[in-house]
Amino acid sequence: MLTVLTVKEAQERIIASLNDTRTEKENIPVTDSLGRVTAREIVATEAVPPFARATMDGFAVRSSDTFGASESIPSLLTLKGHILMGKEPPGSLGTGEAMSIPTGGMLPPGSDSVVMLEYCEVLGNQVAVYRPAAPLENIVREGEDFQEGSLVLPAGHMIRFQDIGILSALGIMELEVYARPRVGIFSTGDEIVSPSEQPKPGQIRDINGFALSAQVLESGGEPQYCGIIADEKEGLKRGLLTSLERYDIVLISGGSSVGARDVAVEAINELPGGEVLFHGVSMKPGKPFIFGLSGGKPIFGLSGNPVSAMFSFILFVRPALRLMQGLSAFPAFSPYVEAFLDTNLSSPGGREDYVRVTLHEGPSTSGKEAPLRARPVFGGSSLLSTMVKGDGYFVIPRDVEGMLEGSKIKVFLF
């Protein structure tokens, strides 16, 4: 029998049993680091920017020399020289002096601001300044972006494009990250054939193998598709044993229910050191879900139903992959949009319902102004079209038996 847990209980048990297991650390080039997770904090080894720079084309000045300057009574400064891009200034700036400077040019010692070109006029060897400059105006100070010694990225941070930018600014070419968790993926079922084959009557192409591989990739793991295994316990045990040696996590889909041909639970329990920790979660789709361990390595037994398998992945496998690669199991915030439900929906209660929706702009039919409307994609929970057509999903909680048209919902985007 299924001893059914809530989604939250199931997540907590998985996280607790992973025991903060992380993958190994490795050094990789910054150019390969997008989406990887820092294994140690990154501190600025130098100031960024390394010197004070102009943010406008104009003239470097001492701001005190321009106080009171106006259209009718400009400050007249001596043109001391020209600052070139990528070069040190030709000298320092004294009282009553100015130097022309391009955007990004290095400020000369003695200057503390830049007056925009538009407010200056060169008159022979003099510059007339028609507007006062405030101290620090139109400049970026040395270390204003990041001070030398300051924290740039904490450990356990997923590298984004802007992070690659600051690593480049610091001249950091390599960084230490957690290895991508290696995930072995099996599909099981007497009826399943490879996607490249022409199925005979009664046979079905393997949807889960490649789709789950894609979900693993999306979650920062390294998928290895291990093929199709028939509904036969000994064969499944052999497959599991080999893959447990090679991978950090093993996923199987199919055979996770309670039918005569559903051998996943027995197979996991009979592995050396193997144990099913729980079987079944009160959610739809995705109720037949198994979580087990063998030699401390997690085994996820997902339903063969592709939609169920995808949701079990989102809710249970993804947090595990996040943890193993150095992140928190759940992000501090998930990308969602708020929308108004387009129709009344009933739900049996007692389980979480994961409803796939499409999003549309415009006012809701209930007359409320709404930036977005969410329309459930109709079709049984086993239909892949509900995922393919859906833009995202929302959750009807266990203690809610229905939702009214016009309800405000959070749609998590695919």
Q: Determine, following the binding rule CB under 6 A, whether residue 100 of this chain makes contact with ligand AMP.
A: no
CB of 306 to ligand AMP, least distance (A): 5
Q: Which is nearer to Mg ion, 189 or 274 (CB)?
A: 189
Q: Which is nearer to ligand AMP, 58 or 288 (CB)?
A: 288
CB of 282 to ligand AMP, least distance (A): 17
Number of residues that bind Mg ion (CB under 5 A): 4
CB of 379 to Mg ion, least distance (A): 21
Q: Determine, following the binding rule CB under 6 A, whether residue 253 of this chain makes contact with ligand AMP.
A: yes
CB of 209 to ligand AMP, least distance (A): 6
HEC string for the chain: CCECECHHHHHHHHHHHHCCCCCCEEEEEHHHCCCCEECCCEECCCCECCCCEECCCEEEECHHHHCCCCCCCCEEEEEEEECCCCCCCCCCCCCCEEEEECCCCECCCCCCEEEEHHHEEEECCEEEECCCCCCCCCEECCCCCECCCCEEECCCCECCHHHHHHHHHCCCCEEEEECCCEEEEEEECCCEECCCCCCCCCCEECCHHHHHHHHHHHCCCEEEEEEEECCCHHHHHHHHHHHHHHCCEEEEECCCCCCCCCCHHHHHHCCCCEEEEEECECEECCCCCEEEEECCEEEEEECCCHHHHHHHHHHHHHHHHHHHCCCCCCCCCCCEEEEEECCCEECCCCCEEEEEEEEEECCCCCCCCCCEEEEECCCCCCCCHHHHHCCEEEEECCCCCEECCCCEEEEEEC
Q: Determine, following the binding rule CB under 6 A, whether residue 304 of this chain makes contact with ligand AMP.
A: yes
Q: Determine, following the binding rule CB under 6 A, whether residue 306 of this chain makes contact with ligand AMP.
A: yes
What is the rounded CA–CA span in Å between residue 266 and residue 254?
13
Q: Determine, following the binding rule CB under 6 A, whether residue 184 of this chain makes contact with ligand AMP.
A: no
Binding region for Mg ion (CB under 5 A) out of 102-110, 183-191, 294-302, 343-351: 183-191
Judged by CB under 6 A, the chain residues 187 through 216 that form the site for ligand AMP are: 187, 189, 191-192, 204, 206-208
Q: Determine, following the binding rule CB under 6 A, whether residue 256 of this chain makes contact with ligand AMP.
A: yes
Q: Which is nearer to ligand AMP, 132 or 255 (CB)?
A: 255
Q: Determine, following the binding rule CB under 5 A, whether residue 306 of this chain makes contact with Mg ion.
A: no
Q: Determine, following the binding rule CB under 6 A, whether residue 286 of this chain makes contact with ligand AMP.
A: no
Q: Which is nearer to Mg ion, 134 or 258 (CB)?
A: 258
Q: Which of 58, 74, 89, 189 binds Mg ion (CB under 5 A)?
A: 189
CB of 354 to Mg ion, least distance (A): 21
Is the separation of the CB atoms in 360 and 392 below 8 Å?
no
Annotate each residue in 61-80 with x if it binds ligand AMP (CB under 6 A) or - if it does not, as one string: --------------------
Q: Determine, following the binding rule CB under 6 A, whether residue 239 of this chain makes contact with ligand AMP.
A: no
Q: Which is nearer to ligand AMP, 1 or 332 (CB)?
A: 1
CB of 188 to Mg ion, least distance (A): 6
Q: Which is nearer to ligand AMP, 262 or 342 (CB)?
A: 262
Is the separation of the CB atoms in 400 and 349 below 8 Å?
yes
Interaction site with ligand AMP (CB under 6 A): 187, 189, 191-192, 204, 206-208, 253-257, 303-306
Interaction site with Mg ion (CB under 5 A): 189, 254-255, 304
